[in-house]
C-alpha cells in the first residue's frame, strides 16, 4: 500500500502512530462510521483511533490505522484521503505532493468547512494561491458520476485540464469525485472572438466551453460527469458563495435536466423556485394536473413540448427541429388542448404546462 519511507514521512507529519493492516471481508463494515466523513474512506476504531481504507477487493482491504493523542481534524483527514487516492488503483505509493497540490487541498478543505457555516469567513491570505485568486477567473464545478474505489490522481487530472484550456488553471479537490476548477478568462475571450460575424453572448460562449470540456473528460477521462459553470468571478472575494451556487446548480440540473450534463445557473431560475416548494405540495399539484389527463407525458408529446419550449414557443422552428410538417405540430398542440384544456400557444397556459412537466420529473407518482 505504501513504502516504508512514505509511511515514515507521514508519521512525522501527523506526529501519530501508523499501522498498515489487512482486513478480512466484512471487518471494515463492522467499524463505526466517522461523523461528517465519507464512510467508504474513513471509519472509527475503539479508543478514538481512525482507520483509512486504501486498496480493497473481494478478499481483503488494506487499511491504514492512525492513533494520535489529539483528534484528527477534518482538514487533516481530507489531506490523508487525498494522498492515499492513488493507491486505490493498486498503484505504487504516490510521490510527495507538490507545494501547489498541498495549497489546493488545503483551500478545498477550507471551502468545504465554510460551506457548513451560516456566513463564510474572509479568505486567508495564505490560501490565495500566491495571489492568483485576486484575478478574474471562470469557475467550473466538476462532479464525476463514477463511484468506484479508484480516485483520480491530482497531477493527471490537472494535466488533462491544462491541455484543454491551454492555460494554467487552478484545480481544487472539494470531496471525493468533486473538484472546483478556476480558469483564466482567456478561453471566454477566445470563444467570443471565434464566433465570427454572428455575435455570440457570454452565456452561449460559456455553454460552448462547458460542452467541449465535458466531451473531453467523458471520452479521455473516466466516463460520465456533470459540469456547472458560472460567470467570471474574483475568487478571493466570492469563492465560497460561487461554489455553493455551482453545487446547487448541479443538484437542480440532475433533477430537472435529465439527459443533460452541463448545467448553467441562469437557465435554472424557475427550477430553483420550484425546488423550494414542499414535496407534498408539489405532489398534490401534479396529481391535480393529471386528474383530467396524463397526455402531457406521452413520449411523443413530451418531446414535442420540450422542443417547443426550448425554441421559445416558435411553431415553425419547432417543426423544423422535429423534422415534421408544421400542420403535424399544430395537430399535436390541438390534441393537447383537447385532452388537457391547456393551449401552449397562449403564454399563461404555456407557463402552466412547463411547470407541470418540471414537477413531474421530480415527483414520485403511484
Contact status, residue 296 vs residue 360, Cβ threshold 8 Å: yes
Confidence bin at 2 (pLDDT 50/70/90): very low
Single pTM value for the model: 0.65
Query: Which grid cell sits at 193?
Result: 472572438
| Percent above pLDDT 70 for the chain | 84
Scanning the structure block, which residue is given the C-alpha cell 473528460?
A: 217
Confidence bin at 191 (pLDDT 50/70/90): low
Helix (H, G, I), strand (E, B) or coil at 122: coil
For 93-147, how does the pLDDT look when each residue is reduced to its tens digit (9 = 90+)?
445 556 788 889 899 999 999 998 888 889 999 899 988 999 999 999 999 876 5
Q: Write phi, then psi, for 198 (nearest 5 degrees).
A: -75, 115
Distance of alpha carbon 53 from alpha carbon 62, whole angstroms: 6
Alpha helix locations (H) across the chain? 4-14, 27-30, 74-83, 99-115, 154-165, 186-194, 202-220, 235-256, 269-275, 279-290, 299-310, 315-322, 326-340, 347-362
Count helices and strands (H / E) in the chain: 14, 10
For residue 169, which of 251, 266, 235, 249 has the smallest C-alpha distance?
A: 235
Distance of alpha carbon 365 from alpha carbon 298, whole angstroms: 15
Confidence bin at 7 (pLDDT 50/70/90): low
Which tops the pLDDT comparison, 19 or 347? Answer: 347
Query: Which grid cell sits at 355?
Result: 411547470
For 229-279, how does the pLDDT look when each residue is reduced to its tens digit (9 = 90+)?
999 999 999 999 999 999 999 999 988 887 889 999 999 988 888 888 888
Most confident of 41-45, 291-295, 329-333: 329-333
Angle at 74 between CA 71 and CA 78, to 5 degrees: 120
Would you state the pLDDT for residue 257?
Answer: 83
Which tops the pLDDT comparison, 59 or 170? Answer: 170
Amino acid at each position: 500500500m505504501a513504502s516504508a519511507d512514505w509511511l515514515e514521512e507521514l508519521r512525522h507529519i501527523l506526529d501519530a502512530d501508523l499501522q498498515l493492516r489487512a482486513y478480512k471481508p466484512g471487518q471494515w463494515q463492522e467499524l463505526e462510521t466517522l461523523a461528517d466523513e465519507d464512510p467508504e474512506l474513513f471509519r472509527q476504531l475503539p479508543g478514538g483511533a481512525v482507520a483509512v481504507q486504501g486498496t480493497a477487493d473481494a478478499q481483503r482491504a488494506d487499511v491504514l490505522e492512525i492513533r494520535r493523542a489529539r483528534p484528527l481534524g477534518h482538514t487533516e483527514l481530507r489531506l490523508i484521503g487525498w494522498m492515499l487516492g492513488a493507491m486505490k488503483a493498486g498503484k505504487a505509493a504516490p510521490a510527495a505532493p507538490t507545494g501547489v497540490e498541498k495549497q489546493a487541498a488545503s483551500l478545498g478543505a477550507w471551502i468545504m468547512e465554510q460551506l457548513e457555516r451560516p456566513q463564510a469567513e474572509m479568505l486567508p491570505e495564505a490560501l490565495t494561491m500566491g495571489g492568483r485568486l485576486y484575478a478574474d477567473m471562470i469557475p467550473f464545478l466538476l462532479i464525476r458520476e463514477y463511484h468506484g474505489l479508484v480516485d483520480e490522481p491530482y497531477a493527471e487530472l490537472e494535466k488533462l485540464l491544462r491541455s484543454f484550456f491551454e492555460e494554467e488553471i487552478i484545480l481544487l479537490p472539494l470531496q471525493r469525485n468533486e473538484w472546483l476548477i478556476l480558469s483564466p478568462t482567456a478561453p471566454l475571450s477566445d470563444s467570443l472572438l471565434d464566433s465570427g460575424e454572428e455575435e455570440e453572448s457570454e452565456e452561449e460562449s460559456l455553454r460552448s466551453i462547458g460542452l467541449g470540456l465535458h466531451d473531453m473528460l467523458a471520452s479521455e477521462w473516466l466516463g460520465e460527469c456533470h459540469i456547472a459553470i458560472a460567470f467570471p468571478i474574483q475568487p478571493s472575494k466570492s469563492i465560497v458563495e460561487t461554489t455553493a451556487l455551482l453545487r446547487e446548480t448541479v443538484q437542480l440540473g440532475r433533477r430537472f435536466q435529465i439527459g443533460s450534463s452541463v448545467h448553467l445557473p441562469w437557465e435554472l431560475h424557475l427550477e430553483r423556485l420550484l425546488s423550494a416548494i414542499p414535496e407534498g405540495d408539489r405532489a398534490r399539484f401534479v396529481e391535480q394536473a393529471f386528474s383530467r389527463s396524463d397526455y402531457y407525458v406521452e413520449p411523443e408529446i413530451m418531446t414535442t413540448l420540450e422542443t417547443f419550449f426550448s425554441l421559445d414557443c416558435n411553431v415553425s422552428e419547432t417543426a423544423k427541429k422535429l423534422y415534421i410538417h408544421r400542420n403535424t405540430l399544430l395537430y399535436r398542440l390541438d390534441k393537447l388542448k383537447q385532452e388537457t384544456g391547456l393551449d401552449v400557444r397562449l403564454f399563461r397556459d404555456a407557463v402552466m404546462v412547463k411547470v407541470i412537466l418540471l414537477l413531474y420529473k421530480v415527483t414520485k407518482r403511484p
